[in-house]
Amino acid sequence: MNPLDRYESLVDDVDAFRAACDRPLPSVVRTNGIAASPSRVREAFEEEGVSYEPVDWHDGLFRLPDGNPGGNWPYVHGWTHGQEEVSVLPGLALDPQPGERVWDACAAPGSKTTQIADAMDDRGTVVANDNNLGRLSALRHNAERLGVTNAIVTNQDARNFSVKPLAFDAFDRALVDAPCSCEGTCRKNPDVLDQWTLDHVHGVAGIQKGILSRAVQATRPGGTVVYSTCTFAPEENEAVLDHVLANEACEVVEFDLPLVTDPGVTEWEDETYDEAVTRAKRIYPHRNDTGGFFCAKLRVDGGDADGNSPDEGVDETEVAT
Amino acid sequence: MSDNTDGEKRGDPANDGQRFDRLPETPADRVVEGRASRAEVLDWWQERFGIGTGVFEGYSFWEKGAGKIWIFNGEASDPSEVEAVGMTFLRTRQEHWKPTGRAASRFGAHATRNVIDLGPERAARFAAGEDQDLPEWDGDWGYLIATHEVAGEPVPIGVGLYLYDELRSVVPKGSRADLPVVE
């Protein structure tokens, strides 16, 4: 069975959805602002004769119709990183700021870690974790190639992540770009559809709930957690949010993304989910001619309306005495 | 950041290859034998490449493994038992200290000496990992930062070793690239 069949009831235009899923995706690179500006990258591409097309919703992204994103000077200089367009979205939703403490719970191979470091102007601390030691070498390679100096790399099971090796005990923001069944990547890797099983969906959903729960716990009151996957499966998306809403002190909040999205779904097969999951965003391939994606933004309960931790004033008092 | 400096609270002033230890501020603060100090690291970049100490203000330096120095721009506990703290920066504990190619790429634009600007064809050969005859260089021997021009500005490619009229590319195998000659 093609797993895409099961999502036909969720989309408005089944034919357009299926046709988009069958089309290959172009190579895309993201400008690494630590090393270069989008205009410098454009100049270098033009001088070298590399064909590129802009992406209308993000000035740092370029489509390379001839492929080979690593075979040019801007790549060698760490000015660009090959990254699928939709993969940029969770970093935009997370909106990390210079100087903050940020956790990337499932970080390898580092596309989002390096995007986070860039958004932080390479200042503050991004803790890039992955449980797979082999994939960590790709993460480290990418972070170094892009000149990231504010990352700590850890090798833990994110579900039981310990902050003990760190110099602080809570994050301002956390990204859970979770391992998933990946049907949304079928345009660049059609094999995911052949390898798909419902057992895997159910198994990985348990892992996703564990990681997202830990991310909420490890983030300070008022802080931000972003949850993303590249699957359409509600079991791995809205059901995970519903579980965490019921068990952790957090809420799903509204946010904006710069392309066309559909709201999270509240019903799937014989399940119903918390109404708040409609604030999550589904990205279907036919809407913006991209890969498929899911992204939700959560706020950890407590803190004030600006997201400040309730105990920050107390710390100052303690220092004064 | 922890105020535990350089292993003195651990009672074992030896380098431990399994963890990151913060460099002492100066040679006078040194507890672990052979460990470079922050001041020496900054002096080295100043002397070798003319990169002012202000460029590295705010960064901390860490050793993991004998002589491997990492540069970091965040908060870390000292020592840190993690997989990486920032990026690899410099190899010490040998007669000639060696900057990493990544350090040259990240900070080399600030260099004012021991920088060798390569033409288009030489730049492509350098990135491919080739050694090349270069008798016309009349500067220092040793580690140089190789640059080439991209759209009107010099850009560091990596680190080369200049010896006996030859520029040896020390671009690591995994980072070598077959690139076009851009005239």
Indicate whether B75 and B127 sit together in one domain. Answer: no
Indicate whether B36 and B72 sit together in one domain. Answer: yes
**For residue B79, cis peptide bond before it (omega within 30 degrees of 0):** yes
Indicate whether B166 and B135 sit together in one domain. Answer: yes
Distance (Å) from the C-alpha of residue A78 to the closest C-alpha of chain B? 8
Indicate whether B120 and B87 sit together in one domain. Answer: no
B44 is a domain residue? yes
Entry field: residues in chain B: 183
Q: Which of residues 51-90 of B touch A (CB under 8 A)?
A: 59, 71-77, 80-88
B151 is a domain residue? yes
B6 is a domain residue? no
**B148, closest residue in chain A (CA to CA):** A73
Residue A318 banded pLDDT, cuts 50, 70, 90: very low
Q: Which residue has the tokens 């120095």?
A: B69
Indicate whether B75 and B125 sit together in one domain. Answer: no
B144 is a domain residue? yes
B105 contacts on A by Cβ (under 8 Å): 35, 77-78, 147
Tell me if A296 sits within 8 A of A277, measured CB to CB. Answer: yes
Residues of A with CB under 8 A from a CB of B: 35, 40, 43-44, 46-49, 70-78, 101, 122-126, 136, 140-141, 143-145, 147-155, 165-168
Pairwise CB contact (< 8 Å): A144 & B88: yes
Q: What is the CATH number of the domain that holds B119?
A: 2.30.130.60
Catalytic residue check, A230 = yes
Could you say which of A77, A143, A168 has the minimum Cβ distance to residue B75?
A: A168
Pairwise CB contact (< 8 Å): B87 & A125: no
Indicate whether B94 and B118 sit together in one domain. Answer: no
- The model's pLDDT over A197-234, given as tens digits with 9 standing for 90+, comes to 999 999 999 999 999 999 999 999 999 999 999 999 99
Pairwise CB contact (< 8 Å): A147 & B72: no
Nearest CA among B138, B141, B144, B134 for reference residue B170: B144
Pairwise CB contact (< 8 Å): A72 & B86: no
pLDDT greater than 50 at residue A315: no
Distance (Å) from the C-alpha of residue B4 to the closest C-alpha of chain A? 12
Indicate whether B125 and B89 sit together in one domain. Answer: no
B156 contacts on A by Cβ (under 8 Å): 77
pLDDT at B89: 98
Q: In this predicted model, which residue has the larger pLDDT, A304 or A117?
A: A117
- Please give the distance of CA B93 from its chain centroid, rounded to a whole number: 13
List of domains in chain A: 3-25+85-320 (3.40.50.150), 26-83 (3.30.70.1170)
Exactly one of A106, A230, A250, A295 is catalytic; name it.
Answer: A230
B54 is a domain residue? yes
SS3 A107: coil
User: Which residues, 6 or more positions from A303, have their beta carbon under 8 angstroms from its beta carbon?
Assistant: A220, A221, A222, A223, A309, A310
Indicate whether B42 and B87 sit together in one domain. Answer: yes
Tell me if A290 sits within 8 A of A88, measured CB to CB. Answer: no
Average pLDDT score over residue span A28-53: 97
| Domain count along chain B | 2
For each of chain B's 183 residues, which pLDDT tens digit applies?
444 444 444 455 788 888 999 999 999 999 999 999 999 999 999 999 999 999 999 999 999 988 999 999 999 999 999 999 999 999 999 999 999 999 999 999 999 999 999 999 999 999 999 999 999 998 999 999 999 999 999 999 999 999 999 999 988 887 788 888 887
Nearest CA among A93, A11, A95 for reference residue A257: A93
- The model's pLDDT over B16-49, given as tens digits with 9 standing for 90+, comes to 888 999 999 999 999 999 999 999 999 999 999 9
Task: Tell me which residue range forms the domain holding B88.
Answer: 21-98
SS3 assignment for A186-225: CCCCCHHHHHCCHHHHHHHHHHHHHHHHHHHHHEEEEEEE
How is A238-261 classified by DSSP, letter by letter?
A: HHHHHHHHHHSSEEEE----SS--
Pairwise CB contact (< 8 Å): B75 & A101: yes
B14 is a domain residue? no
Q: Which of B72, B98, B124 is the last residue of a domain?
A: B98
Indicate whether B41 and B90 sit together in one domain. Answer: yes
B108 is a domain residue? no
Pairwise CB contact (< 8 Å): B87 & A147: yes
Structure-token pair, residue B56: 């590295």
pLDDT at B9: 45
Pairwise CB contact (< 8 Å): B76 & A166: yes
Q: What is the dihedral of CA A240, A243, A249, A250, to 10 degrees?
A: 40
Q: Which of B65, B98, B131 is the last residue of a domain?
A: B98
Q: Which of B68, B98, B128 is the last residue of a domain?
A: B98
B3 touches chain A (CB under 8 A): no
pLDDT at B2: 42
Question: What is d(CA B86, CA B90) in angstroms, rounded to the nearest whole number?
Answer: 12
Indicate whether B27 and B71 sit together in one domain. Answer: yes
Indicate whether B45 and B83 sit together in one domain. Answer: yes
A150 contacts on B by Cβ (under 8 Å): 72-74, 86
Residue A75 banded pLDDT, cuts 50, 70, 90: very high
Average pLDDT score over residue span A284-313: 82
Tell me if A180 sits within 8 A of A229, measured CB to CB. Answer: yes
Indicate whether B137 and B162 sit together in one domain. Answer: yes
**B58, closest residue in chain A (CA to CA):** A123
B66 is a domain residue? yes
Pairwise CB contact (< 8 Å): B180 & A143: no
ipTM greater than 0.95: no
Question: What is d(CA A81, CA A132) in angstroms, rounded to the nearest whole number?
Answer: 21
pLDDT at A303: 77
